[in-house]
Amino acid sequence: MTYSVYLSNYTVGESSYDTINDVCSPYGQKVVLIIGSHGYHQARKYLDEAIEKSSLRVAKTLYYGGECTYENAEKLKKEIAETDTDMIFAIGGGRVLDTGKFVAEQTGKPVFSFPTIASNCSACTSVSILYGTDGGFLRPEFLKEPPKHAFIHTKVLVEAPVKYLWAGLGDTYAKYYEASISSRGEALNHALTMGVNISSQCADGIIRHGAGALQANREKILNEDFEQAIQTIIVTTALVSILVTLDHSPDYNSGLAHAIYYTLTSMPDFDEEKHLHGEIVAYGILILLLVDGQREEFERVYAFNCATKLPHSLEELDLDAETMAPYLESITQMADIRHNPYVITLDMLKAAFQELETINKNKEKQK
């Protein structure tokens, strides 16, 4: 079996943008910026100065379009085709970075990522999540390679809204629990083995540093917890993602928590704008651990969710047992759990959801 693994290089720190000339100048001088409406303005005060000191120059600045869609990518491709440019800088949150990566592959340009929030691992992954023009999820587009280099500016990230880091914590620790369960009992090749083993740091790193990182983000002051947490979210999770999806299959990169996420966000009255991806997945991991009988891990994650105010009840997602009941069957039909080591049944889900609500009620009584 022959396969290639492409990983992203990265620079992290308060002066990470100062390295752009050394890193990027071998690819040329002319840069197109693909930006979002918010994150770019957080980074600009640092990035403009770094570019000015370098041999690079900005040929054009393009707005990504508001969503990572095929339609927006096509518009950007045309703009880039009409511009004399050597490389792309994608600057913003996950959907901006995903758009930049997808357009870069389509145009054959090297892309460099500049994450402005620490909610996901897009800055270092080789996949773009595509959405429809209505904002609905379409599919992942697996790319040949991740960005050539990610510039992780810790001051930009610590100044970002806290809600994004908060949601990123949940989505990151989910990587370990879903990967370890979906690969259980299988003979894995070298890359998959590395990916699954590395994924344990997605849980350990976040549970160890997450609360302190949130405090730093609230105070807009860097600390060790913050720096450890954002590297776990952006770098460690990306390594896992790349290694466990080499065959472009999500089998080891998803699971019950994501099946719950996609079910909830398909509910007509569910407010997807209010509840972030990582927030919902964090709740789903509690259900996953109850279904899987991992009581010790459940207690660890439950305590972490309570401490960081990540959801541990349906009420925190503006739901209740009665509203949720008709949708439990839908969860069992999701492709995300097709690679589970055992069949997840409706009865298992009913028992887990009920048990979690009982745990919450008992906790309230003890206050």
Is residue 121 domain-shared with residue 230, that is, in the same domain?
A: no
Is residue 278 domain-shared with residue 308, that is, in the same domain?
A: yes
pLDDT in tens, 21-35: 999 999 999 999 999
Is residue 226 domain-shared with residue 310, that is, in the same domain?
A: yes
Is 341 strand, coil or helix?
coil
Is residue 35 domain-shared with residue 57, that is, in the same domain?
A: yes
Is residue 200 domain-shared with residue 100, that is, in the same domain?
A: no
Is residue 118 domain-shared with residue 169, that is, in the same domain?
A: no
**Which value, to the nearest 10 degrees, does the dihedral of the CA atoms of residues 210, 212, 217, 223 take?**
-120
**End-of-domain residue from the set 158, 178, 201:** 158
Q: Is 258 labelled a binding residue?
A: yes
pLDDT in tens, 210-223: 999 999 999 999 99
At 95, the pLDDT band (50, 70, 90 cuts) reads very high
What global pTM score does this model have? 0.95
Q: Is 171 labelled a binding residue?
A: yes
Mean pLDDT value of segment 66-91: 97
**End-of-domain residue from the set 116, 140, 158:** 158
Domain membership of residue 4 (yes or no) is no
pLDDT in tens, 158-177: 999 999 999 999 999 999 99
Is residue 120 domain-shared with residue 185, that is, in the same domain?
A: no
CATH of the domain at 221: 1.20.1090.10
Distance of CA 91 to the CA centre of its chain: 16
**Is the confidence at residue 367, as pLDDT, over 80?**
no
The rounded mean pLDDT for the chain is 95
Is residue 207 domain-shared with residue 295, that is, in the same domain?
A: yes
CA distance 174 to 127: 18
CA distance 301 to 318: 21
At 153, the pLDDT band (50, 70, 90 cuts) reads very high
pLDDT at 124: 98
Domain membership of residue 269 (yes or no) is yes
Q: Is 131 labelled a binding residue?
A: yes
* Cα angle 130-44-46, degrees, rounded to a multiple of 5: 125
Q: Is 312 labelled a binding residue?
A: no
Q: Is 117 labelled a binding residue?
A: yes
Q: Is 95 labelled a binding residue?
A: yes
Q: Is 218 labelled a binding residue?
A: no
CA distance 257 to 335: 12
Q: Is 187 labelled a binding residue?
A: no
**What are the tokens at 286?**
């509690």
What is the extent of the structural domain holding 221?
162-365
Is residue 241 domain-shared with residue 340, that is, in the same domain?
A: yes
pLDDT in tens, 33-50: 999 999 999 999 999 999
Domain membership of residue 348 (yes or no) is yes
DSSP run (H or E) holding 30: strand 30-35
Contact criterion met (CB below 8 Å) for 147 and 154: no
Is residue 176 domain-shared with residue 232, that is, in the same domain?
A: yes
Q: Is 118 labelled a binding residue?
A: yes
CATH of the domain at 85: 3.40.50.1970
**End-of-domain residue from the set 136, 158, 180:** 158
Tally the domains of the chain.
2
Q: Is 96 labelled a binding residue?
A: yes
Q: Is 57 labelled a binding residue?
A: no
At 250, the pLDDT band (50, 70, 90 cuts) reads confident
Domain membership of residue 3 (yes or no) is no
Contact criterion met (CB below 8 Å) for 235 and 120: no
pLDDT at 313: 97
Is residue 143 domain-shared with residue 267, that is, in the same domain?
A: no
Is residue 280 domain-shared with residue 176, that is, in the same domain?
A: yes
Query: Exposure pattern of 72-92 as b/e (b: 16+ CB <10 Å)?
Result: bbebbeebbeeeebbbbbbbb
Mean pLDDT value of segment 310-320: 96
Q: Is 116 labelled a binding residue?
A: yes
